[in-house]
Amino acid sequence: MRRFSTSCVTVLWLGVVFACGPAPRADAGGVEAPVPGVLSTPRRLLPYVALEDGRVLAAGGHDGSRTLGSCEVFDPDTGRWRSTGALRTARRNHAVVRLLDGRVLAVGGSNGVTVGALASTELYAPDTGLWTQAAPMTEARNDPAVAVLPDGRVLVAGGTDVDLQPVRSAELFDPVSGTWSVAEAPAYARGGAGTAVVLRTGKVLFASGLQSELYDPVTGHWEKAGAVGCVLYTS
């Protein structure tokens, strides 16, 4: 998700595995990777999100053999990754987004073992480096699209369900009350939901496959945004 505003949150979906260096050393505030720019743990199938202070959080993912709960934070001042609090539930193909208050919300994904999609969500506090359990979504979603609305609520849409079927539904998270509510469903079911971008108008552009839609947070309705010029896939 990319939101083009002064409170920009950039999430990078990377389909690569980072090489490991030698065994990390213990240091204050977590375990620091010994090689600059190299993650302590190889990981893929995860989102990366920029924190308010400029650091970057890598949460969960897959190391090639198992789904991860471990997390790391990249410090641009030192050029190194440092371990931080682990997710309460190991997950991959999930979505993360930075809330307006600076916390990070992680939603859905899969544990890669027994559950094809997770409904559980978690909140990360950068000041403590810890995750806490948040209220579950109304529907389990693997690989959903997510966006922070101008009023601070979070829109989650699409993904695949526990049977790996595309989901045609959306829901909203209120960070003040900590609750989820059902939103109007988009016109199309989307598995591997694609990209959600908050426009300057406040509407959310939701695009994948051959179709794109706009969600209006003021009216709560979706509208067709036109066909995409080529088929879009996410990794």
- Which pLDDT belongs to residue 18? 34
**One-character DSSP codes across 201-222:** TS-EEEEEEEEEEEEETTTTEE
Identify the band that residue 115 occupies on the pLDDT scale cut at 50, 70 and 90.
confident
Lowest mean pLDDT among 7-21, 124-138, 162-176: 7-21
Closest listed residue to residue 81, CA positions, set 42, 24, 37 = 37
| Mean pLDDT over the full length of the chain | 85
Helix (H, G, I), strand (E, B) or coil at 31: strand
Beta-carbon contacts of 232 under 8 Å, excluding residues fewer than 6 positions away, are: 194, 195, 207, 208, 209, 210
pLDDT tens across 163-212, in order? Answer: 999 999 999 999 999 999 999 999 999 887 668 999 999 999 998 767 89
pLDDT tens across 62-94, in order? Answer: 999 999 999 999 999 999 999 999 999 999 999
- CB neighbourhood size of 211 (10 A): 18
- Which pLDDT belongs to residue 106? 99
pLDDT at 125 over 60: yes
CB 141 within 8 A of CB 135: no
Distance from C-alpha of 112 to C-alpha of 64, rounded to nearest angstrom: 11
Q: Give the strands of the sheet with 154-157, arranged side by side.
A: 145-148, 154-157, 170-174, 179-183
pLDDT at 2 over 90: no
pTM as predicted = 0.83
Fold of 2-232: Neuraminidase (2.120.10)
Identify the band that residue 49 occupies on the pLDDT scale cut at 50, 70 and 90.
very high
- Which pLDDT belongs to residue 209? 66
Which pair of structure tokens corresponds to residue 140?
A: 């389990």
Closest listed residue to residue 9, CA positions, set 117, 116, 103 = 103
Domain residue spans in the chain?
Answer: 2-232
Chain centroid to Cα 173, Å, comes to 14
Identify the band that residue 35 occupies on the pLDDT scale cut at 50, 70 and 90.
low
Q: Which residue has the higher pLDDT, 235 or 72?
A: 72
Query: For the chain, what is the largest distance between any 2 Cα atoms, rounded to a whole number of angstroms?
Result: 53
Distance from C-alpha of 116 to C-alpha of 161, rounded to nearest angstrom: 7
Identify the band that residue 234 occupies on the pLDDT scale cut at 50, 70 and 90.
very low
